[in-house]
């Protein structure tokens, strides 16, 4: 398990300044190191909400790879996106497009045919080890000390997703503040129960 520091530091709003690299995204990171193999120098990155797509695009652009990244490309005007694709081809620079998970229906035929040939990358569900790292990172960003044994207790019981880790830590933090006490097993347990009931 490793982490990648973001060149720009924290972007505010509690966004982590590091990316946890694990089973869910290691293949994506590896692909970033070999942009010369991308068809038409283009890759499309998909993943569930809060899985780090925006952070990965940011790291790709700022890490010195010389590429261009477009977040929420599936919400962009297709004519403008086609123009950006053409510009990337003319400049011979790699282009990374981040999109929401699910089928992306492109109406513009020329754009659809070109992006259909791109490399398709996907962020999966984190395993136990990565979940532990994600929980620890979100807690650190909040200045929250979870306490001894928290990770081993929480990981098997929480939703197995990037968002699940974020929501769980937020619930623990809020309960801890409300009760004016550090997180204990009682708070961990109540946070898990609260998330399940919502």
Max distance between CA atoms of the chain, in angstroms, equals 59
172 lies in which domain range?
128-197
Long-range contacts, 141-149 (Cβ 8 Å, 24+): 141/10, 141/14, 141/15, 141/16, 141/17, 142/14, 142/169, 142/170, 142/173, 144/169, 144/172, 144/173, 144/176, 144/183, 145/182, 145/183, 146/172, 146/183, 146/188, 147/182, 147/183, 147/184, 147/185, 149/185
Model pLDDT for residues 66-107, shown as the tens digit of each residue: 799 999 999 999 999 999 999 999 999 999 999 998 889 999
Distance from CA of residue 57 to its chain's centroid?
Answer: 9
Model pLDDT for residues 126-157, shown as the tens digit of each residue: 999 999 999 999 999 999 999 889 999 999 99
Listed residues 61, 96, 122: the one ending a domain: 122
DSSP assigned state of 76: S
| Residues 7, 55 within the same domain | yes
Contact 190, 175 (CB under 8 A): yes
Distance from CA of residue 118 to its chain's centroid?
Answer: 20
SS3 50: coil
pLDDT confidence bin for 6, thresholds 50/70/90: low
**pLDDT at 16 exceeding the cut of 80:** no
Model pLDDT for residues 32-47, shown as the tens digit of each residue: 999 999 999 999 999 9
- Beta strands 18-21 and 2-5 are antiparallel
| Residues 48, 26 within the same domain | yes
| Residues 104, 22 within the same domain | yes
| Residues 67, 82 within the same domain | yes
> Residue 109 and residue 80: Cα distance in Å, rounded?
14
> Residue 122 and residue 188: Cα distance in Å, rounded?
31
> Residue 23 and residue 90: Cα distance in Å, rounded?
35
| Residues 7, 35 within the same domain | yes
Number of domains in the chain: 2
> Residue 21 and residue 161: Cα distance in Å, rounded?
14
Listed residues 122, 141, 171: the one ending a domain: 122
| Residues 140, 76 within the same domain | no
CATH of the domain at 158: 1.10.8
pTM of the model: 0.87
Residue 152 structure tokens: 């081993």
Listed residues 122, 157, 185: the one ending a domain: 122
């Amino acid at each position: 398990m490793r982490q990648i520091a973001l060149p720009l530091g924290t972007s505010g709003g509690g966004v982590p300044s590091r990316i946890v690299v694990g089973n869910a995204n290691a293949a994506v990171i590896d692909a970033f190191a070999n942009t010369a193999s991308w068809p038409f120098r283009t890759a499309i990155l998909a993943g569930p909400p809060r899985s780090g797509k925006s952070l990965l695009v940011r790291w790709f652009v700022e890490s010195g790879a010389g590429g261009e990244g477009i977040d929420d490309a599936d919400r962009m005007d297709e004519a403008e996106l086609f123009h950006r694709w053409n510009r990337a081809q003319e400049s011979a620079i790699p282009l990374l497009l981040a999109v929401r998970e699910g089928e992306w229906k492109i109406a513009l035929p020329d754009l659809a045919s070109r992006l259909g040939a791109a490399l398709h990358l996907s962020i999966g569900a984190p395993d136990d080890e990565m979940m532990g790292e994600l929980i620890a990172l979100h807690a650190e960003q909040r200045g929250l000390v979870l306490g001894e044994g928290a990770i081993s207790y929480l990981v098997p019981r929480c939703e197995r997703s990037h968002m699940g880790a974020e929501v769980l830590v937020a619930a623990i933090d809020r309960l801890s503040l409300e009760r004016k006490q550090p997180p204990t097993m009682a708070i961990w347990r109540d946070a898990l129960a609260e998330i399940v009931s919502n």
